[in-house]
């Protein structure tokens, strides 16, 4: 069962009916937990016990971290008791973080680690470490990572750190399980903190009509983004990037642009559906995207793209590393390190590492440029002028879209081949016939026009929402919801691919 299927629609309607039919909060939380387990079990039932165990461990470790110090000590021993208490809390924090990281490493990064070690060993001997490679292949074939593991682990780590920093640990197990297993966000986020979610549980009530309409509207928008746009873009991307050696430079640029649009529409469409379903249940999940392709700096891009991941990286990695308090060069190093972690979080392949490294370098260069602009009136004037803003936007988006190549093709052999063919390469004679004429039934020029129209539509939406602050009236939304859902169902590809971020 996945979003935007008939099965999920029936599941959501059934859950809503049962959830709002009862009055007691504890019963509602139990229903929410049961529904979440059914949802996850329909995808990977074998990992349901693992999620339950890790949720339980996180719950009790957090309680231990948040336990108050025993004040029944002599005044002369108070300082020693406090030091022991702080040391105990720190050890418990690292136990909780370590268990979550061990889970991630075991399922997602062990094969990659074995291959990397084998590659290094092979450089110093005639034997290319076949045993290591065989072990990595065996793990990949027999050990499938649980869906949503990265999001699940990051939420657990955030909760433990919040408790260590002084937030109260919950004593309500039902509330914590409802938060951790909440099915709209369980697979691909958005990454949500416990305490804002728990505050909503305390004031949970049946949504008013405007909230219900907004929830349905978000689901309809998510359906359009995913089924009508992202999945068709995915067909173009797959055709081009699966024939890199036959594609020309123009085709690869089109494929790169199409993938950048696909991953945004696919992931933001997922979040729209998740937020819409959560609203119908009385919860408001955090926003995850805010027109990222209209950012004029890479720092602004990361304030608008996957916003909850960016917030997690800032609060639980960048600030503990020292943030911007250690001078300019230390700040640049911290940015680079944080983005390397972000790249590695997305997947166990060198392409993701390079993707993170590129974003880290771009963030460091932006920080250096901003520092230079603070000392130079001419630079400050240029970057605030219309040509400077346009140039900043162009440079930012060029960096973002080109780096997506490593994201789409994390195998370095494939991604490097794309970069080698980005300039001056003509397509194979049969490529255009097979891809554009026979499969897509549209020539390359018209495909470029369609991508341009899509960008124009996004620009118009950005102007209306961010520039003019205009919103559709609820009457228009309620009329458009069935139209959008019908169009998405009617014009969707015959076989809709899974959400891209299911892999992460």
Catalytic residue chosen out of the listed positions 195, 232, 306, 346:
346
Q: Which of 436, 299, 290, 291 is nearest to 362 (CA)?
A: 299
Q: Break the chain down into helix, strand, coil percent, rounded to 5.
A: 75, 0, 25
**Dist. CA 222–CA 227, nearest whole Å:** 8
396: Cβ–Cβ under 8 A, 6 or more apart, which residues?
295, 296, 297, 298, 300, 301
Give Cα 218 to chain centroid, integer Å. 18
**Dist. CA 435–CA 236, nearest whole Å:** 8
CA dist 147 → 54, 144, 436 (Å): 14, 9, 35
329: left (phi over 0), alpha (psi -120 to 50) or beta: alpha
Name the residue with tokens 């909780």: 96
> Three-state DSSP class for 294?
helix
Helix then strand count (H, E) for the chain reads: 23, 0
38: Cβ–Cβ under 8 A, 6 or more apart, which residues?
11
Cα-Cα-Cα-Cα dihedral sign, residues 398, 400, 401, 404 = positive
Whether 366 sits among the annotated catalytic residues: the reply is no
450: Cβ–Cβ under 8 A, 6 or more apart, which residues?
442
Q: Which residues are catalytic?
A: 346
């Amino acid at each position: 069962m996945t979003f935007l299927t008939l099965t999920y629609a029936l599941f959501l309607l059934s859950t809503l009916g049962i959830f709002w039919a009862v009055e007691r909060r504890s019963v509602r939380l139990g229903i929410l937990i049961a529904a979440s387990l059914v949802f996850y079990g329909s995808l990977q039932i074998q990992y349901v016990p693992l999620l339950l165990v890790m949720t339980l461990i996180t719950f009790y470790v957090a309680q231990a971290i948040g336990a108050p110090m025993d004040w029944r000590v002599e005044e002369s021993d108070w300082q020693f008791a406090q030091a022991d208490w702080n040391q105990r809390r720190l050890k418990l924090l690292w136990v909780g973080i370590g268990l979550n990281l061990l889970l991630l490493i075991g399922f997602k990064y062990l094969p990659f680690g074995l291959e990397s070690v084998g590659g290094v060993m092979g450089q110093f001997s005639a034997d290319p470490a076949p045993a290591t490679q065989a072990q990595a292949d065996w793990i990949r074939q027999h050990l499938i990572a649980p869906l949503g593991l990265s999001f699940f682990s990051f939420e657990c780590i955030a909760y433990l750190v919040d408790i260590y920093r002084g937030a109260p640990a919950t004593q309500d197990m039902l509330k914590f399980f409802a938060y951790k297993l909440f099915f709209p966000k369980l697979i691909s986020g958005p990454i949500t903190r416990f305490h804002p979610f728990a505050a909503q549980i305390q004031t949970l009530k049946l949504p008013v009509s405007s909230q219900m309409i907004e929830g349905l509207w978000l689901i309809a928008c998510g359906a359009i983004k995913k089924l009508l746009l992202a999945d068709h873009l995915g067909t173009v991307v797959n055709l081009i990037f699966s024939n890199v050696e036959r594609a020309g430079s123009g085709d690869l640029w089109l494929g790169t642009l199409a993938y950048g649009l696909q991953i945004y529409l696919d992931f933001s469409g997922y979040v729209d559906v998740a937020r819409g379903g959560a609203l119908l249940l009385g919860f408001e999940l955090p926003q995850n995207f805010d027109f990222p392709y209209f950012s004029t700096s890479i720092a602004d891009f990361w304030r608008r793209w996957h916003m909850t991941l960016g917030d997690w990286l800032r609060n639980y990695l960048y600030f503990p590393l020292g943030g911007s308090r250690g001078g300019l060069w230390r700040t640049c190093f911290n940015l680079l390190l944080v983005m390397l972690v972000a790249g590695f979080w997305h997947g166990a392949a060198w392409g993701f590492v390079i993707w993170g490294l590129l974003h880290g370098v771009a963030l460091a260069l932006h920080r250096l440029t901003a520092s230079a602009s603070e000392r130079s009136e001419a630079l400050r004037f240029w970057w605030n002028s219309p040509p400077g803003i346009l140039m900043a936007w162009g440079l930012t988006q060029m960096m973002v879209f080109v780096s997506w190549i490593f994201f789409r093709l994390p195998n370095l052999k494939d991604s490097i081949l794309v970069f080698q063919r980005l300039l001056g390469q003509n397509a194979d004679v049969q490529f255009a016939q097979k891809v554009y004429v026979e499969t897509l039934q549209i020539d390359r020029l018209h495909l470029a026009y369609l991508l341009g129209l899509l960008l124009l539509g996004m620009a118009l939406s950005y102007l209306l929402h961010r520039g003019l602050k205009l919103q559709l009236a609820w009457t228009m939304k309620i009329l458009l919801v069935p139209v959008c859902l019908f169009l998405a169902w009617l014009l969707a590809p015959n076989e809709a691919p899974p959400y891209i971020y299911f892999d992460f």
